[in-house]
Amino acid sequence: MAVNKKLAAKGGAVGAVVAAILGSVFMLEGGYVNDPKDPGGETNHGVTKKVAQSHKEVLAKEYGWDGTMKGLTKEMAAEVYVDDYIIKPNFIEFASISPAVTHKLVDAGVNTGTSRPARWLQESLNDVSRNGKDYPKIQVDGKVGTATINSYKALQKKRGKVEACKTMIKLLDGKQLNHYTSLNMPDYTYGWVSNRIGNVPLEACNDDANL
């Protein structure tokens, strides 16, 4: 499976984290939907037609995709998710640091676009840096790189791994909630808030203590 090849270099533990995240995303997204009110148009397993088409060549070669959204299998969707929502935004680097924070970033990225949760993470890290007293503030550019990762590690050192994770989950949830309520899409607000806010339990952060 092509997805496994991309994750193999990161180690089995990272692959297990990604598999768990994808399982959760698939449960929320469901199968084929063609809602005329949804600006994303046709979707299957949460992948929009536009995004799927950008992977058409690879999906056809690796999985024999026929190009239709109804023909997009869960395995194909996983390929897209790993590429566009985990590897490209560099959320993959958080998988070995905090699986729960990684889950929140990926899930929010699937629903709102990856640059938003990346920015929310950077803003949140700055928010709890005590104005740079605990660790240097970082640029909020929506690109998760070395500075963002080091900033999170500095928060872990200052507050402890579990508390750092819980703090980030709370802040990310808050920023995501503000985003949803700022949109004029009343048909979707309830579902978004019910399914995408608080969907990563704070108790999941306890696992970070052993990393």
Per residue in 88-147, pLDDT (tens digit) is: 999 999 999 999 999 999 999 999 999 999 999 999 999 999 999 999 999 999 999 999
Q: What spatial distance separates the first Cα and last Cα of the chain, rounded to whole Å?
A: 28
What are residue 44's DSSP bridge partners? 47
| Separation of alpha carbons 137 and 2, rounded Å | 38
Q: In whole angstroms, how large is the CA radius of gyration of the chain?
A: 17
| Separation of alpha carbons 3 and 109, rounded Å | 18
- And the tokens for 208? 């970070």
Give 133-136's long-range contacts (Cβ < 8 A, gap of 24+): 134/158
Q: What percent of the chain has pLDDT over 90?
A: 89
E-state strands within 89-181: none
Tens digit of pLDDT for each residue in 151-161? 999 999 999 99
Helices (H) and strands (E) in the chain, counts: 10, 2
> Does an H or E element contain 126, and which?
helix 115-127
